[in-house]
Structure 1
Amino acid sequence: MATIGLNNPAQTMALGERLAPLLIAGDVIVLNGDLGAGKTTFTKGIAKGLGIQRVIKSPTFTIIREYLDGRLPLYHMDVYRLETGGGEDLGLEEYFEGDGISVVEWAEFVADELPSEYLAITFNRCDQAGEEVRSVTLEPHGDHFDQVVKELVEHE
């Protein structure tokens, strides 16, 4: 586990961009944090790092947005609306075991659907004197993500 401080949205996006080259097909990234904590900004960084040119929008109302024009496809999921269930009907395992990167916001609502190996990233607001300061905790689940976090932190 590692914690990184971020002073602004640009640094949040840059962290996602640095993570992207370390990801491989089938990787699942779980993003935790309050509304406005930086989850979608971080996902925009991953998309940029994958070479995706399209505008990244929060999938709040569509649940899953697919971006297929990068080094690997990006599947951006916001499963908040599944808080009362229904995740098993979406075929999430096809995304999780597929050819792209799955980024899941509000994953606690589909916890039973998650693979055994994934990277959980928690965004915490630490606002100070009007500044939007964040801390990001990286919690790897599995050997691959242990290595990803190690490489990401080494270059911090």
Structure 2
Amino acid sequence: MVVPLSHIALLFPTDLYARLLTRFGPDFDVTKLVVSLASKHVAEADTLVVEKETFEKVTSPLFDDGDPNGGLAWSPLFLVNGTQLRMSYGQRTYHARIRFDQVQYGEEQFPTMSQWVRKVANGTSRNAWHDVWFKTPDSDAFQYADAMRQVKRTGAFA
């Protein structure tokens, strides 16, 4: 019979331990700090796994995106259904997809690009042209939205 352990011992660098005690005092609970930081790290890692699973699901070729001739008009661009979207904000990368003529982000749909960008940015006003990269179903690489807008308008990169 295996008896589950409630605690384990970890090797901790003595110089770091000494620095913590010097900085916070001899009564500082280093164990409590380590457990707190490890718990936070695991919680953040779980969030990233959920986002990765969602991204893999919505980028699967078997995932139905709606009419392949449909999509989202983002003047002067037209992003066809199946286009993948990428945005970085707060040192994290977020993914969405054009599905059924809207931006699909997790379980939410947004009729405009700016509404999705605002959602990712926690309600702050952003210029979506400067935040979004996209990859169409027939492309191998993400393209910077503002550069593609300039190409559409002028015929050349700015």
Do they superpose with TM above 0.5?
Answer: no
For the superposition of Structure 1 and Structure 2, which TM-score range results when normalised by the shorter chain? under 0.3
User: Could you say which structure has the greater relative contact order, defined with CA pairs below 8 angstroms and 6 or more residues apart?
Assistant: 1
Q: Normalising by the residue count of structure 2, what TM-score does the alignment of the two structures yield?
A: 0.22
Larger Rg: 2
